[in-house]
Amino acid sequence: MPTMSMPALLASEERFRSLFGQAAVGIIQVQSGTGVIERANETFAQMLGYTVAEIEGKSFQHFTHPADIAAGGEQMRRMVEGNLASVRLEKRYLRKDGKPVWVDLTATPVSHRNGRPMQNVSVILDISERKHMEEALRTSEERLRGILDRLPIGIAKVRADGFNFSNERFSQICGYDTHELASLDKWWEAIVRDPQERELYLTRWNEACREAREGNGYIRAMECVITHKGGHSRSLEMAGVILGDDDDDYLITLVDVSQRKAVEERARYLAYYDPLTQLPNRRLLLDRLQQALAMSARHQSYGAVLMLDLDNFKSLNETQGHDMGDRLLGIVAQRLRSCVHADDTVARHGGDEFVVVLRSLGESEQAAAAGAEEVAQRILNVMREPFDLSNEHHHTTLSIGITLFHGQRESADELLKRGDLAMYRAKAEGRNALRFFDPEMQAVVEARVALESDMRAGIAQGQFEFAYQPQMLHGQIVGAEALLRWQHPLKGAISPAQFIPLAEESGLILRLGEWGVKSACERLASWANDPVMSELTLSVNVSARQFHQAGFVPQVLAALASTGADARLLRLELTESLLLEDIDDTVKKMAHLKSYGVGFSLDDFGTGYSSLSYLKRLPLDELKIDQGFVRDVLTDPNDAAIAKTIVALGTSLGLQVTAEGVETEAQRQFLERNHCYGWQGYLLSPPLPIREFEALVQSLAIAHGKTSAAV
């Protein structure tokens, strides 16, 4: 190899120095064995914020970031050993001010001895800006990934070769990580295991994708039910968007709608089923009944509606609590279902009422009636079995009303009304029984509705009045019982036995009762200045419903105050049934009115279930012997004994005893012999209009030579 001349060598050296010093990149010359920097150019010095003099003579590790000292160590060792021609790596230096500088470093040996490099030159490029951009991009990607993973919807990016991105929610919804599945087809196979169902979903999805490509790129949502990796089902709403021009490049979104579907299903269930018994409710019952009517018309067959009501259910609720009542209703529902075919309907109509709709009972009315009765009897029999309620045996029965249907001649509502009428007839005739609807029953109900309407008009128009039956004591008239009468302008006199029960059922008894108390007070006030009439007592019957309303006491006191009537002359007649509802409330109200002077009679005594302990607590003035006992006191030893006992009991309690329904002198004498001196009845007079009653009182007063209030 020719030897370079000295001038040439010097020129070459000069060019190297010039290139070294003026290079736009950092350059350092390093002793390979020690790592000492023998030479550094200005660019490198500026890169680190030092002068060249401060750099030269120091090890390159002096300027290397502590975390990167080991970086590329193995490669540098191999280059020093002569096994690598060069080394390239990225690392960080520390500037004089302590800030890191990212560099791209390429080291190449420049001199050798015995085959080993003695020196190497490193070319150093400042890549801090690029690194900062990469870091910013990485941070942005991590932030985006974090956002995507926290989204409540599943997202996955799909290409022809499979999934290339999915968030955590996507994997949570279906249970599979997309890395587990090689393709979208494998994913569909995993989440929809039934081939026919999967084919249906794929057809819908591919059609939606085709529409999206031809339209705005958005894949419309479709609902599907998948099988989660854990084995349970989930309802999903799947949608997406086409990305770019590639048909196989799109984004899938998954929304888990299982909870919403469950809520919707629950709402739908509650709309049509009773939550306590799990039976159809009235809404679904009407729908099922309409279907049964349509089928009956189509096949010309008979069906039946059974209206069922538990007997004495109210007493169970009141004595043992509503929880026990609910438990009973649940068991009743189970027993009813066991008595009918699967295509028949058992529904809860409300409260303790149930309805059974029987379909296809045949083409003969007689056969249908027999079939319906057979089912009803089966129901009655299973209901007679004891009910186990909290380890206690409870017995209950049903009353059943049955109405047949054939085609659609009657509406569903009309059939339910007819079943209701028949059921109430079963209750009225002893309960624990079944009765069929008949047209006569309908006529009775229509008459009842008309009578109720007339009664409302009659109250408003003043058609009601009192008849007065004299009450005798020791042969003298001491008072009267005011008995309600109704003179209808078209129908004439209507019996109290007809309109009083209807008034009780409809609630009109409250208006009639208020009118009665007010009218009695007005009558007492009108008698106040008459020397014969002024000290007569006037008794008014009070119903249990009227007495137990919250404003009864103020109502009576207001009537007394507004009329100026003497409270001592007003006597309220109560029945024994009234006492059974709330004895404490009864005593409290009676005591309040008693403090103002109002008197009380216990009417029809002996026909109810009064307890003697109640009698001690009640501030009564009078016991009235029911006319049922008085009628046969001369012929029936039992009635005679009862009458004597009531007289003895009343006398021992310091009460006046009055016998009702005295019609013969012999009856009166029997009562008098047994120390009952008070009576009323046809022996003296039937209930009279006011003028006739007043005339009777005046005539008897004159006959006894009484012209003062002593009568």
* Tens of pLDDT, residues 654-699: 999 999 999 999 999 999 999 999 999 999 999 999 999 999 999 9
Q: Same structural domain for residues 241 and 285?
A: no
Q: Are residues 95 and 24 in the same domain?
A: yes
Same domain, 354 and 427: yes
553: in domain: yes
Read off the pLDDT of residues 4-20 as tens digits, 9 standing for 90 and up.
566 655 555 566 566 67
Q: Residue 556, Cα to own-chain centre: how many angstroms?
A: 42
Tell whether 122 and 161 lie within a shared domain.
Answer: no
**146 located within any domain:** no
Note whether residue 86 is domain-resident. yes
Q: Tokens 């509406």 belong to which residue?
A: 411
Which of 203, 238, 262 finishes a domain? Answer: 262
Question: Are residues 291 and 251 located together in one domain of the fold?
Answer: no
Dist CA 118 CA 443 (whole Å): 127
The residue with greater pLDDT, 605 or 251, is 251
Confidence at residue 647, expressed as pLDDT on a 0 to 100 scale: 93
| Of residues 599, 586, 596, 565, the one with CA closest to residue 471 | 599
The pTM of this model reads 0.52
DSSP H helices, 429-507, are: 439-461, 496-506
Do 306 and 235 sit in the same domain of this protein?
A: no
Whole domain around residue 556: which residue ranges? 471-484+508-620+681-703
Please report whether residue 448 resides in a domain. no
**Residue 185 sits in the same domain as residue 330:** no
State whether 352 and 405 are in the same domain.
yes
Q: Considering its fold, how many domains does the chain have in total?
A: 4
Contacts of 365 (CB under 8 A, 6+ apart): 302, 404, 406
Which pLDDT tens digit goes with each residue over 55-87?
999 998 889 999 888 877 788 888 888 788 889
Per-residue pLDDT tens for 265-289? 888 888 889 999 999 999 999 999 9
Per-residue DSSP letters for 281-337?
A: -HHHHHHHHHHHHHHHHHHT-EEEEEEEEETTHHHHHHHH-HHHHHHHHHHHHHHHH
CA distance 457 to 452: 9
At residue 581 the predicted structure's pLDDT band, cuts being 50, 70 and 90, is low
Q: Residue 399: pLDDT above 50?
A: yes
Same structural domain for residues 99 and 188? Answer: no
CB contact at 8 A, 632 and 606: no
Domain boundary among 239, 262, 285: 262
Listed in sequence order, the residues at least 6 apart from 628 whose beta carbon sits closer than 8 Å to its beta carbon are 607, 639, 661
Size (the chain), residues: 711
Q: DSSP of 580-616, one letter per residue?
A: HH-HHHHHHHHHHHHTTT-EEEEEEETSS---HHHHH
175 within a domain of the structure (yes/no): yes
Average pLDDT across the chain, whole number: 87
Nearest by Cα to 593 from 618, 561, 567, 622: 567
Output the six-digit token pair for 693: 């009653």
- Tell me, what CATH number does 573's domain have? 3.20.20.450
Do 197 and 256 fall into the same domain? yes
Lowest mean pLDDT among 191-200, 311-320, 586-595: 311-320
699, 692 in Cβ contact below 8 A?
no
Q: Which amino acid is at 184?
A: L
Co-location of 391 and 290 in the same domain: yes
pLDDT attached to residue 16 = 59
Quick check: is 217 in a domain?
yes
Tell whether the model's pLDDT for residue 2 goes beyond 60.
Answer: no
Where among 127, 161, 183 does a domain terminate? 127
The reported pLDDT for the residue numbered 8 is 59
- The token duo for 141 is 């990607």
Question: Does the residue 336 lie in any domain?
Answer: yes
Contact 309, 352 (CB under 8 A): yes
Same domain, 215 and 293: no
CATH number for the domain harbouring residue 109: 3.30.450.20
